[in-house]
Amino acid sequence: MDEVQVRENLTYEKRSVAVVDHKLKELRGISINLVKVHWDTATGEATWEVES
């Protein structure tokens, strides 16, 4: 299991495990690149984020 490092203000940084999928979203003529990021192997948590 990975080690969690907690800061003095009791926050921690989540690191992505893998980019699972990607898609292009069209909104009012603007194209936005999105990627699905897998955050945690234990919980399987994944979210869609703006590609940057």
- 12 occurs within a structural domain: no
Rg (CA), the chain: 15
Query: Residue 39 — φ and ψ, nearest 5°?
Result: -95, -40
- 44 occurs within a structural domain: yes
pLDDT at position 7 is: 77
pLDDT at position 34 is: 92
Distances (CA, A) of 24 to 29, 39, 45, 46, 49: 12, 21, 21, 18, 12
Q: How many domains does the chain have?
A: 1
- 39 occurs within a structural domain: yes
- 26 occurs within a structural domain: yes
Q: What's the domain range around 31?
A: 18-50
Mean per-residue pLDDT pooled into runs of 10, the chain (52 residues): 70 76 91 88 76 78
- 45 occurs within a structural domain: yes
Distances (CA, A) of 11 to 1, 5, 24, 30, 46: 19, 9, 32, 35, 20
